[in-house]
Structure 1
Amino acid sequence: MSLLQIASYTIAIVIFLYYLITTTFFRYPRPLPPGPKPWPIIGNLPHMGTVPHHALAKLAQKYGPILHLRLGFVHVVVAASASVAAQFLKVNDANFSSRPPNSGAKYIAYNYQDLVFAPYGSRWRLLRKITSLHLFSAKALEDYKPIRQEEVGILTKALAKAGKSPVELGQLLNVCTTNALSRVMFGRRVFGDGNGESDSKSEEFKDMVMEVMILAGEFNIADYIPIRILEWLDLQGVATKMKKLHKRFDNFLGAILNEHKNNSKGADFLSTLISLKNNNYDDEGGQLTDTEIKALLLNMFTAGTDTSSSTTEWAIAELIRHPKILAQVQQELDSVVGQDRLVTESDLPNLFYFQAVMKEVFRLHPSTPLSLPRISAEPCEINGYYIPKNTTLLVNVWAIARDPSVWTDPLQFRPERFLPGGERPTADVKGNDFEVIPFGAGRRICAGMSLGLRMVQLMTATLVHGFNWKLADGLMEEKLNMEEAYGLTLQRKVPLKVHPLPRLPAHAYNWAS
């Protein structure tokens, strides 16, 4: 018998014994939430399907709004109703404020030293405080408003010059959001110079971001069968790919950091972070490290670009499918803004019907359909069910927003439901109303929610105000494919390909350069 065969048999025996110990001999004081019967070893992994938020929504219809699964050897509980989500994210928020271990956070995100995956504690509070004060505060958002406005203006001019050629809208939106964010973060565009030109560093960065999105969506068996030898063997090669990608990101971000240390002008977020390195921010006298700075930069680009561009793409797709709603939004924009200029952020609060449209977009197309996972620090009881310590929590944001017991005709695009006289006239999307929580809720709510809202609303309002839209290849509106492709963010299965038809006077598109 070869050494490889001996190793394989040994691993199989260890896994089987671990399975018996963790599943057969362990008893709980109260029943676990209901759920499908798990398979030996792999648990309920086959039940997740290719589009997990769809599969989990169907399971919730059968077993109820609080669902228990075992993925490998990991306990997972899924919240699929607003009331259950509130129990986890409001009543028991403190108990579910940390993230479970995962290979992506370990190998790509600087071993949990970032904001998104850091354990709940003093270091996470430090990072949250710094970003809240210097990047996402009302003052910071106002200071950086001209940058957002300028990048959306560049996008608009590019669309106005497209002529008869169709464009893939999602790609252009991603360039716009990434460049707006990179100018705020370190004072320069990532994708070219704003005139459609690119360079090798821009292409490298784009490739890295795309690879992160792919790797983050890959299943790594070592995350669910916590036996160290599986992590060490890396049978699927996922960890190896992540380590190589991390090295590329670290070199890229490290070069930018060193450049700023030598030539900092103090006008962007990275310069601010560098200036804060010697300050004590937490009660233990902790200071910001270079690693945490690079991890923050990584977070912003992986969490703050695709989310905004994909949501805007969904918004335009829905409005193309509903021409009467599109015409009503354009009528409101013409009334409030006029036709001699483009929309500004200061116009947005006065666009009441448009705000209802955007809430409906966030309801039907949350950028993160399954919330980023949390983990229980202690055992607890939810709705009479026992939730063990170290249980992973997933909130099915997508299913909650389509709950027929809450929403009338939940699959229909109806902005009127958020207007006076509608079913949810006072609901917001900022984590206060659990029926629609596209940014999450509680302590680990999306840190960049305010920036994301502004960017998505500004891009969508500008595109609707500035253009009429015609689908490429003569496709009729009712035939537009609205299928989802599951990944780190909720992307369209078929990218939106359109002809932008300018509807304003030519001078209106030239106010921003």
Structure 2
Amino acid sequence: MSPISKVSDVSYALAQWWWQWGSEIYQSTHMLTIFLVMVTVVVTVSRWSRRERTPLPPGPRGLPIVGNLPFIGTELHRSFAKFAETYGPIMKLRLGGKLCIVVTSPSLAKEILKDHDTIFANHDVLAVGAIAAYGGVNMVWSPYGDHWRMLRKICVSEMLNHRRLEALYWLRRREVRYMVNQLYSKAGSLIDVGEQMFLTSFNVVTSMLWGGDTLEGEERRRATAEVRRVTDRVLLLLGEPNISDLFPALAWLDIQGIGRQMKKTISWFDRMLDSVIEQRLKRERGSLRRDGGNEDGNKQAKDLLQVLVQQLNLKAKEGVPNNTTPSLTISHIKALFLDIMVGGTETTSTTVEWALAELLKQPHTMRKAQEELEEVVGLNNMVEESHLPKLHYLYGVVKEVLRLHPPGPFLIPRCPSESCTIGGFMIPKGSKVIVNAWAIQRDPMSWDNPLEFQPERFLSSDGDEFDFSGNDFRYIPFGSGRRVCVGIPMAERMVPYLLASILHSFQWKLPNGVVDELDMSDKFGLELKKATPLIAIPSPRLSDLSLYN
């Protein structure tokens, strides 16, 4: 091939490469242009859709990572109520990595707890809550569904219905009479009112759960005092700010060690409940052997544990249950008992302690309550539960105490199962939704002189609408909707009965006699307790001293 031919071939190859390269550049540039146009359209549409989408509630600006945590303090019920004055009755707060929605109006509480009850039927599970409830199998923390319905049905049908509570009145009467006797023996001495009410409430609850008659005298008092110490520890850990809740991705680290502390604390309850249940299982097996398998004599259960153990025996006879049907286990029984023991004792004792503190603060109010008791019961008689429906002023006192000092200031926060619009704002799925019942029940838009203790506000015809079932969302001390507190029937009996008994049987005074120095501050937590225990001195007021025996 001649040199000219070679040059010609090389020139042609270069020209062909140049043309192909230029064509690719053109196509790439063309594709890049199309891509940029598409990105511009997507961004524009996205911005437009964000403007059209339902916005999140307003709220204060926060800091990176920690959000609003540095600005809320330790008294969250008050801090959130103060924020609401600026940002309105529904607002958002960033608590670490958790989006929190706070509601402080009756109408918005109604939307959450009634109108969209199914969406908000799940509680926001605390990291230590799951530990305290045997992996979340209790009634408080378990998700809404068949398992939760099974546990609630057990509580309602076997323990907290009217027929069952009436049948077990003798237990409540026995323990309240014992308390009056103990107070009489300590007349003129300093009494820790909250502790005394807890001991009585605990004895009532455990008697209903498993008999509670294995210990007597001083041994029983020491054991019950230890239970209160452990119960207070559980509530403290549940109410303590936990990095595992604020930053869920770090929960496995348990940075503060709260999870480890809860496991150690719950192990005490676990050992106690294991012992109680094992004793009952042995008793039931022995009974079945003696009866030759005939259970006819066991149909009338004396306590809840006997009912549940019989269900376990029945399941064992039936074999493996249907996987689609929740099946009762020992863990369920222990978790359920822990719920009832903590919820049925602390709530009752704390409410009675607050009530006596408010009455000591206002002696004229205490006189009214005691005059009503004299008229209905008489000073030559002891208070019975049958007297309670006639004690209208006393019920006003109880309702007013629960208005000013609701047992759970935030109820139990909810976690929506899907995104939902509340009050015109978007509540995202998985957020923590708080209904600030403490603020709602002190709202000047709903209550006259909301910070004053006035039982009379519940004595008028208008006050009749405020019951404990949460039908009026201005007054929701026990919540509302399908996850309203299951223990209301018990609380309606125990709180007035305890309060009436100590007011009727004794005069009360403060150690220094100075009412103005009585500390009425509270301590925020899962339960709203007095910051300082109420210490008071009882003296007999019944005309027949033999009644104290």
TM-score, with length taken from structure 2: 0.83
Q: What aligned pairs does 1:48-63 form with structure 2 within 5 A after superposition? A: 48-63=72-87
Distance in 2, matches of 1:499 and 1:282, equals 58
Q: Do residues 87 (structure 1) and 95 (structure 2) align? A: no
Q: Do residues 324 (structure 1) and 364 (structure 2) align? A: yes
Task: Give a deviation string over 1:386-418, Cα, whole Å, max 9, x none.
Answer: 111112111111111100011110011111111
Find the counterpart in structure 1 of residue 59 from structure 2.
35
Moved more, 424-433 or 209-218: 424-433
Distance in 1, matches of 2:146 and 2:384, equals 38
Q: Do residues 134 (structure 1) and 158 (structure 2) align? A: yes
1:430 and 1:441 in contact (8 A); partners too:
yes
What is the CA-CA distance between 1:445 and the residue it aligns to?
0.7
1:160 and 1:509 in contact (8 A); partners too:
no
Query: Share of identical aligned residues, percent?
Result: 38
Q: 2:424 aligns with which of 356, 360, 384?
A: 384
What is the CA-CA distance between 1:189 and the residue it aligns to?
5.1
Distance in 2, matches of 1:240 and 1:136, equals 33
Q: What aligned pairs does 1:303-452 form with structure 2 within 5 A after superposition? A: 303-420=343-460, 424-452=463-491
Letter matched to residue 258 of structure 1: E
Find the counterpart in structure 2 of residue 502 from structure 1.
540
Call closer, same or farther: CA 1:47–1:250 in 2, change over 3 Å.
same
Q: 2:499 aligns with which of 460, 480, 487?
A: 460
1:378 and 1:390 in contact (8 A); partners too:
yes
What is the CA-CA distance between 1:64 and the residue it aligns to?
1.1
Find the counterpart in structure 2 of residue 248 from structure 1.
268
Q: What aligned pairs does 1:216-231 form with structure 2 within 5 A after superposition? A: 216-227=238-249, 230-231=250-251
Q: What aligned pairs does 1:18-29 form with structure 2 within 5 A after superposition? A: 29=53
Instruction: Give unpaired runs (5+ residues) of structure 1.
Output: 1-25
Call closer, same or farther: CA 1:27–1:449 in 2, change over 3 Å.
farther
1:156 and 1:509 in contact (8 A); partners too:
no
Pick the structure with greater CA Rg: 2
Task: Give a deviation string over 1:107-141, Cα, whole Å, max 9, x none.
Answer: 12111100111011100000001111001111111
SS class of match (1:305): helix
Call closer, same or farther: CA 1:144–1:101 in 2, change over 3 Å.
same
Find the counterpart in structure 1 of residue 335 from structure 2.
295
What is the CA-CA distance between 1:196 and the residue it aligns to?
4.3
What is the CA-CA distance between 1:425 and the residue it aligns to?
4.2
Q: Do residues 115 (structure 1) and 122 (structure 2) align? A: no
1:126 and 1:282 in contact (8 A); partners too:
no
Moved more, 367-376 or 246-255: 246-255
Distance in 2, matches of 1:490 and 1:212, equals 14
Letter matched to residue 134 of structure 2: Y
Call closer, same or farther: CA 1:102–1:426 in 2, change over 3 Å.
closer
Distance in 1, matches of 2:135 and 2:420, equals 28
1:83 and 1:434 in contact (8 A); partners too:
yes
- Count of residues in Structure 1 that have an aligned counterpart in Structure 2: 480
Call closer, same or farther: CA 1:47–1:139 in 2, change over 3 Å.
farther
1:340 and 1:508 in contact (8 A); partners too:
no
Letter matched to residue 418 of structure 2: E
1:417 and 1:425 in contact (8 A); partners too:
no
Call closer, same or farther: CA 1:311–1:126 in 2, change over 3 Å.
same
What is the CA-CA distance between 1:424 and the residue it aligns to?
3.4
Find the counterpart in structure 1 of residue 201 from structure 2.
177
Letter matched to residue 359 of structure 2: L
Distance in 2, matches of 1:499 and 1:248, equals 33
What is the CA-CA distance between 1:475 and the residue it aligns to?
3.1
SS class of match (2:119): helix
Call closer, same or farther: CA 1:68–1:509 in 2, change over 3 Å.
farther
Q: 1:145 aligns with which of 144, 147, 169?
A: 169
Find the counterpart in structure 1 of residue 4 from structure 2.
none
Task: Give a deviation string over 1:344-374, Cα, whole Å, max 9, x none.
Answer: 1111111112211211111111111111111
